[in-house]
Amino acid sequence: METPLGGAEFAPSLTYLNTSRCGLLPRRTVAAVTALTEALAAGTAGGSGSFEAVDGARRGFARVAGVAPDRVAVGSSVAVHVGLVANSLPSGAEVLFVDGDFGSLITPFAVRGDLKARFVPLEDLADAVRPGTALVAFSSVQSADGRVAALAAVREAAAAHGARTLVDTTQSAGWLPMDAGAYDYTVTGGFKFLMCPRGASFLTVTEEAQESLVPIHAGWFAAEDLDDPYGPAARLAGSARRYDEPPAFLAYHGAERSLGLLGEIGVDAVHAHNTALAARFREGLVALGHRPVPGDSAIVAVPGLGARHDELAAAGVVVSARAGNLRAAFHLYNSAADVDRALDVLS
């Protein structure tokens, strides 16, 4: 029977199957945030936090993403990262989206008002790329139902037509092995499967695509030389750090520790663990007469069953109701006992 991978790092008081909404914080992460908070209260932090911790988180995410740290920019939210990409497109550019994808990936483009947006079903995305498509923007795993995109097919179609790619990995980074360098841009909220405090997010940019982005929110932290914070920066950082937002130090002190734990365990091990639990849940749902969305995702959605969310919550089983679906997400702190508990309530 599957057992949690996180060991003593986690102690959930409920059957927590809601990582798609927010991941649990490891004990080491809580300790790091608490230590900085206490230092700030005492005036002993030497400032608001440690840049070394920010760079530690950058390196930790780079390991998860399969890229060099100089290809990673830090920030506070996916929407801000996406806004950089949206701002850099020429007027009239066509952007291809997936029907029903998450709003943070779509709205920064929509508010411009001068771009051509086209929406297609997830299963048609690769075939829908055409000459004149400037950018394909999609989530690697859909938030509403956990479906995994045909990543290789979309990447190949975009390359064949000269389109750039923007992939939101918020619902996959941490359990689905990734190669962020295969896409022009990726954006990732850290507070789900990466188990970081909210306020840590990551943008990856290939060296070639970097020339296409305008660093519209560049502050002193984006400068090559951080020793002189006054006046306009003489030169922006040559790496993706030119797109950094000034970091929320409490979030990044914690993110460094969470990403360190994930690095110790390994994404491949987490993938095997999570998908095995999800498969057990799908099999149990079918045995109960329900029809979950098929696939090999760590996120399991059951159409039409969202109304049972409150019943599960009352029994101490934490899941989500999304787009009419009952959505459960499995991660390294879950076990087969959690699966069986949820199935028992549903039965």
128-167 residue pLDDT tens? 999 999 999 999 999 999 999 999 999 999 999 999 999 9
User: pTM of this prediction?
Assistant: 0.96
Considering the domain architecture, whether residues 149 and 282 belong to the same structural domain is answered as no
Count of structural domains within the chain? 2
Q: Answer yes or no: is 236 within a domain.
A: yes
**Can you give the pLDDT at residue 91?**
97
Q: Answer yes or no: is 1 within a domain.
A: no
Q: Which of 239, 264, 289 is the last residue of a domain?
A: 264
Considering the domain architecture, whether residues 76 and 196 belong to the same structural domain is answered as yes
Q: Contact, 135 vs 157, CB < 8 A?
A: no
> Is pLDDT of 1 > 70?
no
> Is pLDDT of 69 > 90?
yes
Considering the domain architecture, whether residues 195 and 341 belong to the same structural domain is answered as no
Among the listed residues 191, 333, 204, the one whose alpha carbon sits nearest the alpha carbon of residue 251: 191
Q: Which of 244, 264, 284 is the last residue of a domain?
A: 264
Residue span of the structural domain in which 332 resides:
7-26+266-346
Tell me the DSSP string of 263-290. Answer: HHH-HHHHHHHHHHHHHHHHHHHHHTT-
Using pLDDT thresholds of 50, 70 and 90, give the confidence band for residue 342: very high
The C-alpha atoms of residue 71 and residue 240 are separated, in whole angstroms, by 5
> What is the pairing mode between strands 72-75 and 201-205?
antiparallel
Q: Answer yes or no: is 225 within a domain.
A: yes
pLDDT tens-digit profile of 203-259? 999 999 998 899 998 988 899 988 888 998 889 999 999 999 999 999 999 999 999
Instruction: Say which amino acid occupies 193.
Output: F
Considering the domain architecture, whether residues 156 and 224 belong to the same structural domain is answered as yes
Q: Which two tokens stand for residue 69?
A: 């740290």
Rg of the chain in Å (alpha carbons): 21
CATH number for the domain including 72? Answer: 3.40.640.10
**Can you give the pLDDT at residue 72?**
98
Q: Answer yes or no: is 258 within a domain.
A: yes
Q: Which of 215, 237, 264 is the last residue of a domain?
A: 264
pLDDT tens-digit profile of 262-279? 999 999 999 999 999 999
Least confident of 78-92, 214-228, 331-345: 214-228
Considering the domain architecture, whether residues 231 and 84 belong to the same structural domain is answered as yes
**Can you give the pLDDT at residue 2?**
57
Using pLDDT thresholds of 50, 70 and 90, give the confidence band for residue 46: confident
Least confident of 199-203, 217-221, 294-298: 217-221
Q: Which two tokens stand for residue 244?
A: 């950094």
The C-alpha atoms of residue 89 and residue 37 are separated, in whole angstroms, by 40
The C-alpha atoms of residue 71 and residue 58 are separated, in whole angstroms, by 9
Among the listed residues 159, 168, 195, 200, the one whose alpha carbon sits nearest the alpha carbon of residue 53: 200
Among the listed residues 285, 255, 266, 272, the one whose alpha carbon sits nearest the alpha carbon of residue 192: 255
The C-alpha atoms of residue 245 and residue 251 are separated, in whole angstroms, by 13
